[in-house]
Amino acid sequence: MFALIYDEHDFSKNQKPVISVHHSRETAEKALEKRMKKLKKRVWECDTRIVWVNGKVRPGDYLTSAQFSTWRPGEKVPAGEMYSDTD
């Protein structure tokens, strides 16, 4: 299952809160876009990322880095940037 997590990339904070849970990467990407619009920030400014979680998780739960990965096993990883850092 895919999840949006709040991640400030601070190594001293090992636990990452789950914002929302999704059955597909596509719905997680739509939720991330909605969050970016709501916060009026770009993807790298809203400290939110999509991760793959094995097992059940709910919004409000906390995950450690050992409990999630960036890509689901067997998922095709896109080549190039998904979000350009220029306008």
pLDDT tens per residue, range 52-63: 998 899 999 999
- In whole angstroms, give the CA distance from residue 72 to residue 47: 20
Each residue of 6-61: pLDDT tens digit? Answer: 988 777 888 999 999 999 999 999 999 999 999 999 888 888 999 999 889 999 99
pLDDT average, residue stretch 64-73:
86
- In whole angstroms, give the CA distance from residue 22 to residue 4: 8
Confidence (pTM): 0.79
Angle CA(71)–CA(9)–CA(49) in degrees, nearest 5? 40
